[in-house]
Amino acid sequence: MARLPRLDFPGIAQHIVQRGNDRQACFADDADHLHYRQELGQAALKHGCDLHAYVLMTNHVHLLVTPHEIGAVSRMMQAIGRRYVGCFNARYRRTGTLWEGRFKSALVDSADYLLTCYRYIELNPVRAGMVAKPADYRWSSHAHNALGAHESRITPHPLYLGLGANAIERQLAYRELFNAELGSNKIDDLRAHTQQQKAWGSDRFRQQIEALTQRSASVRPRGRPKSSDK
């Protein structure tokens, strides 16, 4: 059966996850992280994608990106894959695939959903027990978004810009978002929508996407429905 095309619209942010094949490491040392970030920045610029947030974990990556046109995200990810994987394989004298098939992506609604996705991405190292707080992790966008460390590859989303009248106010407001716990229900919900490549947001947002695509944008429930008792 042919695969359905991704939910993909210009100007709507996407949460992207790409995992290492069979959970193997995609980054062995600092040089690998630096190389991936370089390729990410160049590919985002070349293919018309605004990168808002990212985290490079040991065996997977999370990105929050807004494409300028349909297909831009796929072209960006393909470009990164070709260049990064080729160098990774040559460096470690390996062959074959590095990533676990196609990347997963979910459309992300505005307001609370998008800023929650920012937090979800940058809190990954904390949830994994790698650091005590997101500022302690070097390979994410948190230093830029929360602390003002310059990173030219990042383009702030309009909702991030709306957090304050200037950079200092925005960074303070952004840091304050991390004082509230990111509940397991939100984490599970975003994960499910990304895994199934659906639209994560309000009912109205999903209905709008469904009207535009003429297909379901809602997650499927796990398992088979229980039969009713007679």
Query: How confident is the prediction along the chain (230 residues), in pLDDT tens digits per residue?
Result: 457 788 999 999 999 999 999 889 999 999 999 999 999 999 999 999 999 999 999 999 999 999 999 999 999 999 999 999 999 999 999 988 899 889 999 999 987 899 999 999 999 999 999 999 999 999 999 999 999 999 999 999 999 999 999 999 999 999 999 999 999 999 999 999 999 999 999 999 999 999 999 999 999 876 544 443 33
Burial pattern 158-187, b for ≥16 Cβ within 10 A else e, equals: ebbeebeeeeeebbeebeebbeeebeeebe
Residue 47 neighbours by CB distance under 10 Å? 21
Name the H helices within the chain. Answer: 30-46, 72-92, 112-122, 124-127, 142-147, 158-161, 167-177, 184-195, 203-213
Residue 168 within a domain = yes
Residue 102 within a domain = yes
Residue 2 within a domain = no
Supply the range of the domain harboring residue 198: 14-202
Q: Per the structure, how many domains does the chain have?
A: 1
Residue 212 within a domain = no
Residue 142 within a domain = yes
CB 9 within 8 A of CB 107: yes
Residue 63 within a domain = yes
Residue 35 within a domain = yes
Q: Which CATH number do you get for residue 170?
A: 3.30.70.1290
Residue 173 within a domain = yes
Predicted model pTM: 0.93
What lies within 8 Å, CB to CB, of 158 at 6+ separation is none
Placement of tokens 């996850």 in the chain: 17
